[in-house]
Homo-oligomer: A and B are copies of this chain.
Amino acid sequence: MTIKLWKGNEAIAEAAVRAGADAYFGYPITPQTELLEYLSSRMPALGRVFLQAESEIGAIHMVYGAASAGKRAFTTSSSPGISLMQEGLSYIAASEVPCVLVDIMRGGPGLGNIQPSQADYFQMTRSAGHGDYHPLVLAPATVQEAVDLMSISFDLAFLYRHLVVLLADGILGQMMEPVEMPPLRTLEDQMPGWALTGAVGRPPRNITSLYLGAEQLEGLNLRLQAKLAQIAAYEQRWESYRTDDAEQLIVAFGTVGRIARSAVDQAREQGQRVGLFRPISLWPFPAQPLAQLSRHVDSILVVEMNAGQMREDVERIVGGPVHFLGRMGGMIPTPEEIVEALPMKPKAQVHRNGSNGAAPVKRIKERSYAPSA
């Protein structure tokens, strides 16, 4: 197999194609537009469905429709567009229709900007929209990992009949990295037993999220919760890096996860025993492995490109407040900045590059409940 340079957005698109995507519906929004543009020629070339929708709301409901027919359907967007999909996502989850969503996050709130961000963590891990459920949320740190996760996302979606979200940010969407692409999968046209195909010689099938009776709707919810418990049991993904002897633990996901990796290396060079815990599945959050690791370290530093959203999960799991470094609005933490934010300072003062007159870094760094309370 060959390794080629791929732009993140295009690599994700191609990975979806190779994973057997039958239909794509989307709406342009920076920084994910290349996904849509790439698919606008690639899907028709393979005789598959590509359709630019009139809006994100249109797109998610087209996906809902195509997925109801048992097809591998997906859409992609970025933060404001994802907000518009919240109702549709809730319907999809409640109807137990499998589908895949890619969110290439950008700066918010509001129109914000088009720079990278991780501020959809809450929006995606805490039930997209109303009601009780969590999408299965996967957060790659490299283009290769994005491709690998995209490759299994439809399988996961169909296995659990659930919504699978690939959560990345503008950096991952826009950057190029070497990628080994999986081969194009040819899927037999096997219609799942719940799909709408026309009621030929069988009773009709309905796909709905309406359960008028409270007991019926509680029944659906108990079924969903049971499914989520299963997903939580089987689908936790994470990476630990140099944690074996770590005294200080950094927790970071996605792009920040890879930056933190550099920070770990830098800190190690300076003699600090630092490790990295990088959740890959954000829901289910890899709670047990983190809880276990947390017992062996002296301090935990969560780093995010948001105001501390994953931090809340980490605090809940480790049972107390943690240190936090957050950059927002498209500002990207540097490895140096992360090292500097580590609570325990190295004994020896170490020379460090990169302090030549740059403006002082604004950041949130704290150790209390207050703003996240």
Contacts and interface: CB of A to CB of B under 8 A. Distances in A.
Contacts of A219: 329, 362
B111 A91 contact: yes
Nearest to A209: B110
A184 interface: no
A211 B319 contact: no
A130 B126 CA distance: 12
Interface in A191-213: 208-213
Q: How many copies does the complex hold?
A: 2
A232 to B, nearest CB: 5
A317 interface: yes
A307 interface: yes
Interface of A: 79-80, 82-84, 86-87, 90-95, 105, 107-115, 117, 119-120, 122-123, 126-127, 129-133, 208-222, 224-225, 228-229, 232-233, 236, 284-288, 291, 306-307, 309, 312, 315-317, 319-320, 327-332, 362, 364, 369-371, 373
Contacts of A236: 373
Contact of A371 (B214, B229, B320): B229
Contacts of A108: 90, 94, 129-132
A88 B151 CA distance: 34
Best-surrounded residue of A80, A217, A228, A369 (most CB of chain B within 10 A): A217
Contact of A131 (B84, B109, B225): B109
Contact of A329 (B84, B112, B218, B309): B218
A213 B359 CA distance: 15
8 contacts: A92-B110, A93-B110, A108-B132, A119-B132, A122-B122, A126-B309, A213-B330, A319-B319
Given A210-B113, A288-B369, A218 B123 contact: no
Contact of A86 (B86, B115, B364): B86
Contacts of A233: 370
Nearest to A80: B87
Contacts of A110: 90-95, 131, 208-210
B232 A370 contact: yes
A87 to B, nearest CB: 4
A204 B155 CA distance: 54
Given A82-B130, A90-B110, A312-B312, 20 more contacts: A83-B90, A83-B130, A86-B86, A107-B131, A109-B133, A113-B210, A115-B217, A119-B127, A132-B306, A132-B309, A211-B329, A218-B327, A218-B329, A218-B362, A222-B328, A225-B364, A229-B370, A236-B373, A291-B369, A319-B319
Contacts of A218: 327-331, 362
A65 to B, nearest CB: 15
A253 to B, nearest CB: 15
A373 B284 contact: yes
Contacts of A332: 214
Nearest to A231: B371
A317 B369 contact: yes
A108 B229 CA distance: 18
B80 A112 contact: no
Contacts of A370: 229, 232-233
